[in-house]
Amino acid sequence: MTERDLVTNDDSMTLRFWGARGSLPTPGPGTLRYGGNTLCVELRCGPHLLILDAGSGAREMGAALAGPADADILLSHTHFDHVCGLPFFGPMYDPRARLRFWGGHVDRIHDALLRSWEAPVMPDIHKAFRAVLSFQDFIPGQDLTPHPGLTVRTILLRHPGNAVG
Ligand SMILES: [Zn+2]
């Protein structure tokens, strides 16, 4: 069975919101209904896992994943509320994990993320990552094909410093 067969035979799509807030995590009784975490959405397309943004919700999502993660992480942009969960996303420290980052709002998504992991923002946390990481840049408007048979359409969003939908 090829990867395409897997997609063809399982075209289910499910979404789970692990964080839906902007700017700042907001715990407390006032945010119990939808939770207080910043953006992180788990998107399952058949057998494939896509993660849309990695705000503070990524910590709980990583803890809930069964087995080694194999995921495409699509980042709308790298404002802190959309990436602050990455240093706390358990699979980043799992040598069996395969995590592919996609970014289109800057020239090099790797460089943008690295700045959020290095001192003085973080204590060079990237040196502790053990997952197999890869970084894919694209131009907003470009169609992405994370897996055969799975297409992600992208669009430039109006947002300070650019963002991609
Ligand atoms: Zn923003």
pLDDT tens by residue, 124-164: 999 999 999 999 999 999 999 999 999 999 999 999 999 99
pTM summary value = 0.93
Give the domain range for residue 44: 3-164
pLDDT tens digit sequence for 43-67: 999 999 999 999 999 999 999 998 9
In order of 22, 40, 153, the CA distances from 28 in angstroms are 15, 19, 36
What's the CATH code of the domain at 141? 3.60.15.10
Alpha carbons 84 and 79: distance in angstroms, whole number = 9
Residue 82 C-alpha to ligand 1 middle, in angstroms? 7
Mean pLDDT taken over the chain:
94
CA 29–ligand 1 middle distance (angstroms): 25
Backbone angles phi, psi at 45, to 5 degrees: -115, 100
**152 CA → ligand 1 middle, Å:** 21
- List, in sequence order, every residue forming a beta bridge with 48; answer none if it has no partner: 45
* Count of domains for the chain: 1
Cα(83) to ligand 1 centroid in Å equals 10
Interval between CA 163 and ligand 1 midpoint (Å): 7
Give 97-134 pLDDT, tens digit per residue. 999 999 999 999 999 999 999 999 999 999 999 999 99
